[in-house]
Each structure stands twice: as structure tokens, then as C-alpha cells.
Amino acid sequence: MDSEIKELLRELDLEPGADLSAVRESYRQLVKVWHPDRFGNDKKLQAIANDKLKKINFAHHALVTLFEKGGKAHASKSQKAESPSRTSKVPTAGEIYRSGVVRYYQKDYKGAAHYFLQTAELGHAEGQYAMGFILYHHSPRNFFTTHKVYAEAFDWWQKAAVQGNSNAQYMLGIFYQYAICRPYDGTEARKWFERAASSGHSLAIKRLNFLGRVLNTVHSIRAVPLTKWFMEAPPGAPMPD
């Protein structure tokens, strides 16, 4: 195997023979460990992480490019990768998110999820909402996997909602109102609708008006759980932040 490819794989903690999925998975884990944002209180460690992540980004880009061009775990010397020292700065969470948005509108949902997951794990609220959106709206599922997919979407939306993302707040209200992956809880549903509405979220405002009319005639709004095929789509596709 070409020594340069061996070095790229080593940078991603991989052995010769690793495939594209292994490259992407290892990259995702290493970005989570080495992203400089994690070391904001220690400038020395942040500098070390910044340098490490540049090398990780370089190795990932070079290997993905090789695989997507139909190559395998070797490279000709006439196609040597650009030196890491000449690569661009470490991408921010927002830049990673925007890479996911580009893939999303190319209908490459798997590729979009790859980027959204990275930025979501860095605590980026838009990325967290987008990850839940991909899971809920674009993930294949069947009778046995639907609950797990919805639960993962809920977890990401909950993280985004706490940070003030109004679309995520609205979807938490929906999950509690329709008892999706959570027991029915009218109080929680109303709480999240109210938080979204306070930001001017039009669907949340309409939902609160509806709940107000219902509560004027009955003591509770115990809703029947609905499946994906009867549920409205999440209110906003991933957009550039």
C-alpha cells in the first residue's frame, strides 16, 4: 500500500483496508474529540486541538475524494495530496452545518446527516434540529424501527429546544400532544408550544389557539397517538444559519 495512504489512514486511527464508511465514522468520532471549541478555556490545548483537527480534516478529505473517484487504498505519486500545512482553517460548527445543507438540497440525505451529526454533537442548535429532521422525515423505517428513529429525533430536538430553536420547541409540543415516544402530557405540550409561540412561531400560535378552544369544552385533550403517515412534517427543512 502506498505510504501516503497509510499515513492518511493512521491519522484517522484506521488500518489498511478500511472502507469509506469506516473513514467517515472514524472522522466523526475524532472531530468530536478534537474540535477546538471543546477547549475554549485552555488556549494551549485549543492550539494543539486546532493543529490536530487540521490533520484530521486533511486526511478525511483526501480519503473521501479518493474513494468517491473510485479509488482504493492506494494512490499514485502523481496524485499526491496537498500538504496539510496548506489546508484551510478548521471549519466552525456553522460551516459544517452549511455543508450538510448543501448535501440536503442535493437530496443526498445520508451525506447531509453525516455533517449534521458532527455539528449537532458540537452543540449547534440548528444542526441538532436538522439531525432530528433528517431522522424523522427522511429515515427509512419499519414497524420494528419506527419508535427508535422517533426517539432519536426527539432527543436531538430536545437539545435544540433548550437552546431556543423554535422549530424544535414546536415539535416537542407535537410529540407530547400526540404521545409519540413519550406518554401524553398536555402540560408539557402547552409549555413547548408557548415557548415556540413567544418567538413568533406561527404554527405554535395556531396550535395554542386550537388547544384553547378544545379546553373550553372538555377537561383534557388526550390525543390518540398518530403514525408518521398521518403526522404533519416538521415545520422547517434545514436552512443556512
Q: What is the pLDDT of residues 124-149, one digit of tens each?
A: 899 999 999 999 988 887 878 888 99
For the segment(s) 3-77, the CATH number from 1.10.287.110, 3.30.2350.10, 1.10.1060.10, 3.40.50.1980 is 1.10.287.110
Q: What is the pLDDT of residues 49-101, one digit of tens each?
A: 888 888 888 788 778 877 776 655 444 433 444 444 444 455 677 888 888 88
CB 225 within 8 A of CB 103: no
**Where are the domains positioned within the chain?**
3-77, 101-230
Helix axis angle, 109-121 to 20-34, nearest 10°: 20
Q: What CATH number should be reported for the domain whose range is 101-230?
A: 1.25.40.10
State if pTM tops 0.75: no
CA distance 200 to 222: 26
